[in-house]
Amino acid sequence: MTSIAGALVYAFLLILNMSAGPMPVEGVEVVTDRQYAQVVCEAFGRARSSIRMMMFEARYYEHHRNSPTNALIEELIAARRRGLDVRVILERREENDRVNAGNLKTGAILSRGGVEVMYDPPTTTTHSKILIIDGETSVVGSTNWTYNALEKNHEVSVLIRSPQVARTLQDYFQDVWKSCSPLN
């Protein structure tokens, strides 16, 4: 857990330094606002073996088929169809609110596409927004997979090319995965 905290502090300091001008750091890419969907879709397209995702809110929009969130969800399914091991953890709540309804719908779409989907216990909030690709690349930040997050909000994430960071996040993912369950 200390490695995760260290990586997040390092990323935060990197972002703070942006106000004085970009500070190039090998293996770290700051991803802001509208850049997120393209950067992540490209990373998914390059994936060779696995994708792990832990997300507070992911919404599929049936009436907006070309939305960035739909593209991200479809890239996860495409990765699974290419033979990758794709696993997703989504927030689940006791009350049937917008987050819960959206995640259940998205989870069903992903499951139909062959993606393994688990939900956290309703008494625990999974507020993380983490992607781990091939155990080498991680994306950590504030960006949910919603219209507002990808089209309107100011959001910031960090893409980190580091097997050590990815391994630590993957261990965390596995610990959370063990406490989750599929929707029956």
User: What are 39-94's pLDDT values in tens digits?
Assistant: 999 999 999 999 999 999 999 998 888 899 999 999 999 999 999 999 999 999 88
**pLDDT score for 96:** 80
Establish if 28 belongs to a structural domain. Answer: yes
Segment holding 160, helix H or strand E:
strand 156-161
Average pLDDT, integer, range 89-117: 93
**Looking at residue 29, which CATH number applies to its domain?**
3.30.870.10
> How would residue 12 be classed by pLDDT, with cut points 50, 70 and 90?
low
Establish if 184 belongs to a structural domain. Answer: no
Establish if 57 belongs to a structural domain. Answer: yes
CB 56 within 8 A of CB 127: yes
CB 173 within 8 A of CB 130: yes
**pLDDT score for 20:** 44
Average pLDDT, integer, range 116-127: 94
The three-class DSSP label of residue 145 is: strand
The pLDDT of residue 16 is above 70: no
Q: Residue 16 is part of which domain span?
A: 2-179
- The residues facing 52 across adjacent strands are 87, 132
Establish if 11 belongs to a structural domain. Answer: yes
CB 126 within 8 A of CB 177: no
Percent of the chain with pLDDT over 70: 86
Q: How many domains are there within the chain?
A: 1
**pLDDT score for 65:** 80
Distances (CA, A) of 87 to 27, 67, 101, 136, 173: 24, 22, 20, 16, 10
pLDDT tens readout for residues 150-177: 999 999 999 999 999 999 999 999 999 9
Bridge-based pairing of strands 129-133 and 50-55 is: antiparallel
Establish if 62 belongs to a structural domain. Answer: yes
Residues 118/121/122/125 CA torsion (nearest 10 deg): -90
Token pair belonging to 57: 């809110």
> How would residue 19 be classed by pLDDT, with cut points 50, 70 and 90?
very low
Establish if 142 belongs to a structural domain. Answer: yes
